[in-house]
Amino acid sequence: MIDFKSIVQEIDELNETYCEGCFVKTQLRKESGKPAAHRFCIEKCTVGEQLQFLGEELLKSSTRA
């Protein structure tokens, strides 16, 4: 079982490694605005998919406590 702290740590690591300074996100924000960039991250980015999965696991672990 994965605990709350390790899930949060993995989310932070993914965000720092891939999301901060992401060229695609930066360009989309410039060209189409923040909502379009956010939508891309959620719907099309593999890192975004992983972050969503971890978020769901985080919710599950918080309801078990």
Give the tens place of pLDDT for each residue, 18-65. 999 999 999 999 999 999 999 999 999 999 999 999 999 999 877 765
Residue 37 CB burial class (10 angstroms; 0-12, 13-18, ≥19)? buried
What pLDDT sits at residue 1?
Answer: 54
Q: Domain for residue 39, yes or no? A: yes
Q: Domain for residue 4, yes or no? A: no
Neighbours of 60 (CB within 10 A): 13
Q: Domain for residue 3, yes or no? A: no
Residue 18 structural domain: 14-64
Q: Domain for residue 47, yes or no? A: yes
Split into its structural domains, the chain has a count of: 1
What pLDDT sits at residue 3?
Answer: 86
Q: Domain for residue 2, yes or no? A: no
Question: Is 28 within 8 Å of 40 (Cβ atoms)?
Answer: yes
